[in-house]
Amino acid sequence: MTYVSNDLAAAEDVHGDDVDSQKRQWLHALRQPAAHRSSSLIQEPTTPESIVADFIRQHSASGQLVARSVFLLPPYSVPESDLATLLDTMCQHASDADIICIQGSEDTYFYSTQTMTANYAGMCVQVVENDICHAIAEAVRFDCQTYPRPYKVAMLAQPPYHFEPEQVTAALTAMETHPDYADIRAVESSNAEPYLFSERFMSYGKAYGLCEWLEVEQYQNP
């Protein structure tokens, strides 16, 4: 699954049924003079801002972010000056208050809070930008601080990550000696299920007790 709409050709092949093709046509028409737009487009009670907002909502519902750069590329090719104005106007509309902008290191991304949480969007950005170590660390810290509970390593194979075992192993090895991830520690339950935890939010003893409960004790003491 793709988590950012930065390759529209691929997106149409993979998610053609997920994203309304008529909306794609409307969005494509944004870069054309009004005189050249089809009568069907003119009849639609929409504005450029609402079309873009709906485009973002449909991608969010499919588990995708929309990269800002996608609008600068074919088939849309919206000029930078026009795009900046369009996005600013969209973000100021009360009706589009669910559209949120999130800044990555490589691009700016948009999502809708109607179908995507801020935490999930942040995870998607890290996956899209292939920052595996940071993605793992942030997932572990979030779970330890929020729930609190240690993070099951097997979850890294699930959406939105879909990391391969070799990727996880390589990332964890790199994190062991990187100062930015010094708080990330490994812990294992008695049934040999690996977990990770952050020493910023819990001790080794607490992490072990929680993963032991999650893996073993809750089934022994229902």
pLDDT value of residue 58: 95
Q: What is the pTM of this model?
A: 0.68
Contacts of 75-78 spanning 24+ positions with Cβ under 8 A? 75/8, 75/28, 76/8, 76/27, 76/28, 76/30, 76/31, 77/31, 78/30, 78/31
Range with the lowest mean pLDDT among 25-34, 84-93, 207-216? 25-34
Domain boundary pick from 125, 160, 176: 125
Together in a domain, 87 and 45: yes
Query: Is residue 161 one of the residues assigned to a domain?
Result: yes
pLDDT, greater one: 97 or 39: 97
How many domains does the chain divide into?
2
| Structural domain harbouring 36 | 8-125
